[in-house]
Structure 1
Amino acid sequence: MGSIHGAVCAQDQPAENTIIEVGMWVSDIKGVDLASSSFNMDFYLLFEFNPSEISLDQVRKFTIVNIAIIDIDLSINEVEANEQEGVLIYQVIGAFTKNFDIQRYPFETHTLEIIIEYSGFNSSFVSYKVGSKIKVDESVNIAGWELGDYKTEISEKAYFDNSYSRFIFGIDISRPWLSGIIKNILPLAIFAVMAMLAFLVPIEESGQRLALVSVILLSTITFHFALLSGLPPRDYLTFSDKIMLVLDLVFLYILTAVAYIMYLQTKKKDVDLMTINKRALEILIVLFAILLVGLIISF
C-alpha cells in the first residue's frame, strides 16, 4: 500500500491532546477502475490548528495511506501555509486504492475512501477532528456511476504500542439500475428467450434446433467473458456469475432435450414427438421459474 508523508522537521513535541481540524473539498473524481482496484480523485486538504499548541512543520507530518503504488503522476502541492492563522492547505491529485466488493455486480455500491493519517506523534499528543469545511463540488460527475452521500469519520490505527489518528473521507457511488439492466441483463435475457424458441422450430428440423442452441450458448459464454474482463480477481460469485450459472443450466437442459428428441426421431421410435416436445417446454418454463426465484433470493 502506497503512502506519502508531509515534510518532516525536527521539532519539540506538541502539547498533549492537541487537535487538528481536517477539511476537504473534492473537485473531481474519475477513473473508477474495478480491474486495478483504484480510482482517481482531485481534492483540497485543509488543516486548521492552534499555533500555540503545534507548529506548522508538525502539522505537515501526515500520510495519505491508500495512495496507489503505481501512481507516477501523483501531485501533492502546498497551496497555502499560514502558521499565524493556523491554516495549511494542500491540493492532491492522484490514484488511490480501493478493495471493491463486487458480489452484487452489476448493481453494486462502493465507497471511495481517502485515508489521512497523522504520522508525527501518537494520538495522546495529536488527534484529528472533522472540520466544518467538507464539500463535494457540484460539478463532480463519474461516467457510468451515480454519486451518493459522503461521510467522514475519525479513527485510530495502532502500530505496536502506539496509536495514530486517522481522518477518513468516503463518498458512495452506485451503478444506475436502468443502465445495469440494459447493458448486462437484457442481452442475457434475449439469449435465453432465443434458446427457448428452439422448441418452436419444427421437429423435422432437429439439426437446426441443435445448432441454434449451440450458437446461442457460445454467444452467451463470449458475452460473459467480456463482462469479466473489467473485473478484479475474486474468490466468490458475483450476481452476474449467478445469472450465467442459471443460463448455463437452462441451456444444458435445452441441449439435452433437443438432443433426446433428435435421437428419438433418428431411431424412428413409435412415440408422439410433438407431445414430448410440449412437455419438455413446460418443464423448461417451471425449471426457469425456480432458478429465477433462487437468483432473486440470492441477491
Structure 2
Amino acid sequence: MLVCVGAMGVTMGAATPAVAVDTCRLGAYVADLYALDTTTRTIDADIWFWSVCPRPDLEPIKRFEFINASSTRQADQVSVTEHGLYWTYQKVVGTYRENFNLSDYPFDRQTVNFVVEDTRDTSQFVYTPDTVGSTYNHGTRLSSFEITDFRTLVRDHRYTMAFGNPDVRPRSGSAYHQFIIQMRVARNDASGFVKETLPVYVAFLISLVSFFLWSEEETPLLGARLGLLGAALFAIVVNMRAAGQSLGIMHGMTLVDQIHLYSLVYVFIGVATTTYAWRVSIRTGGQARARRVNQVVAVSATSLYLATTGIAITLALQ
C-alpha cells in the first residue's frame, strides 16, 4: 500500500505503552514511484529506509516484514555509529499491492500505502516515526497521476492469534507495530475519459435521431428506426467491453460504466417507444396518438439521460 508523503506524522490506533518499550526512530524517502497498474492492482516503488537506535541489537530494518508487498529486492545495508547512536539505512525496490477504488474513474483519487511490520510484538519494540525527515522525491512523474499528499504514520496491528507463542494464551491475541508510508495521488489525464465516452455519446445522438424519424408508412419506419438503434446498441456494448478490459474486470462500477449503462437504458427506451408507436399507428386513427407518445418519451428520456450523466460526472469531480 502506498504511504502518504508529508511533513506531518500521524499515529493511528497506537496505544501508549504503560511500560517503557524499546524503540528506534524510523524514516523513509520514496525515491521513485512507477508502474501503477489498475488491472493487476499493483504499484512499484524505490524506497530508502533509515533507523536511528540507542543499541545495535534493536535495529528494525533487518526485521522488516513487508505486509502488502508482492516482491522486494533489498540493497546492502549500511550501519554507522554517530554520537553514540546507531544509524542504519537501506534501499528497497518492490512491487506493492493496493486495492484501488475506481468508482470515480477517470477522475479518481487513490491512496497508496507501503506497510512494514516488526517481527517483535509491541511489548518488545515499537517504532518512533521520523515525520520531519521523511519525504518523497518531488520530481517523481507518475504516468497519468500527480502526487497530492504524503505522510508517515505508525499503528498497532492486532492479530486474533498468538502465532504459537508459548508465553501467550492461544486466544488472547497479539499486537505488532506497523510503520506506514501513505501517499495520495490524483489522476490528471482526462484524455482517457474522452476516448472512452465519445463513442457512447455518438451512439446516444444516433438514438436521439431515431425519435425524429417518422413516416406514414409504418413498416419502413420501423425498419429505419430499429436499424439506427441496433447500431447504437452495438457500439455501446463493444465500447463498454473495451473500457472494462483496459481497467480490469473486477473493479465494480466506474463512472465510465455508469455512462455506458445509462446509454443502454436510453437505447432500450428508444426500442420500446418504436415498437409501441408502430403497434399503435397501424390501427385506424392511431398515427396522431403514436406521434404524441413518441414526442413525450423523446423529451422525457433525453432530459433524464442528460441529467443523470451530468450528476454522475459532477459527483466524480468532487
> Which category describes the TM-score, using the shorter chain as reference length?
0.7 to 0.9
| Equivalent runs, 1:216-227 vs 2, <5 Å | 216-227=232-243
State the SS of the aligned residue for 1:103.
coil
Residues 51 and 59, structure 2, Cα contact 8 Å, conserved in 1 = no
Residues 78 and 89, structure 1, Cα contact 8 Å, conserved in 2 = no
Per-residue CA deviations over 1:264-295 (Å, capped at 9, x if unaligned) read 55x36432355444333223234425644774
- In 2, the alpha carbon distance for the partners of 1:141 and 1:294 equals 32
1:173 and 2:185 are equivalent in the alignment: yes
Task: Name which of 48, 56, 59 aligns with 1:44.
Answer: 48
1:233 and 2:232 are equivalent in the alignment: no
Tell me by how many angstroms 1:58 deviates. Answer: 5.7
1:18 and 2:22 are equivalent in the alignment: yes
Instruction: Name the residue aligned to 1:78.
Output: 76
Instruction: Name the residue aligned to 2:15.
Output: none
Residues 77 and 92, structure 1, Cα contact 8 Å, conserved in 2 = yes
Residues 27 and 139, structure 1, Cα contact 8 Å, conserved in 2 = no
| Equivalent runs, 1:146-157 vs 2, <5 Å | 146-157=146-157
Instruction: Report 1 or 2 for greater relative contact order, CA contacts < 8 Å, sequence distance ≥ 6.
Output: 2
State the SS of the aligned residue for 2:190.
helix
- In 2, the alpha carbon distance for the partners of 1:293 and 1:30 equals 33
State the SS of the aligned residue for 1:60.
helix
Per mean C-alpha deviation after superposition, the further-off stretch among 198-207 and 23-32 is 198-207
- In 2, the alpha carbon distance for the partners of 1:225 and 1:37 equals 19
State the SS of the aligned residue for 2:106.
coil
Change (3 A) 1:87 1:165: same
Output the TM-score relative to the length of structure 1.
Answer: 0.81
Over the residues paired in the alignment, what is the CA RMSD in angstroms?
2.8
Instruction: Name the residue aligned to 2:297.
Output: 280
- In 1, the alpha carbon distance for the partners of 2:310 and 2:43 equals 35
Output the TM-score relative to the length of structure 2.
Answer: 0.76
| Equivalent runs, 1:83-102 vs 2, <5 Å | 83=81, 85-102=85-102
Per-residue CA deviations over 1:43-68 (Å, capped at 9, x if unaligned) read 111112223xx426665212111111
- In 2, the alpha carbon distance for the partners of 1:213 and 1:252 equals 8
- In 2, the alpha carbon distance for the partners of 1:186 and 1:239 equals 14
Q: Which residues of structure 1 form unaligned runs of 5+? A: 2-14
Per-residue CA deviations over 1:193-229 (Å, capped at 9, x if unaligned) read 2221222345365223211111111111111111211
Instruction: Name the residue aligned to 2:133.
Output: 133
Change (3 A) 1:210 1:269: farther
1:162 and 2:174 are equivalent in the alignment: yes
Per-residue CA deviations over 1:224-249 (Å, capped at 9, x if unaligned) read 11121123525x53333332222221
Percent sequence identity over aligned pairs: 18
Per-residue CA deviations over 1:8-39 (Å, capped at 9, x if unaligned) read xxxxxxx9522211211112111111222211
The one-letter amino acid of 2:28's match is: M
Instruction: Name the residue aligned to 1:143.
Output: 143
Change (3 A) 1:232 1:41: farther
Task: Name which of 45, 61, 64 aligns with 2:63.
Answer: 61
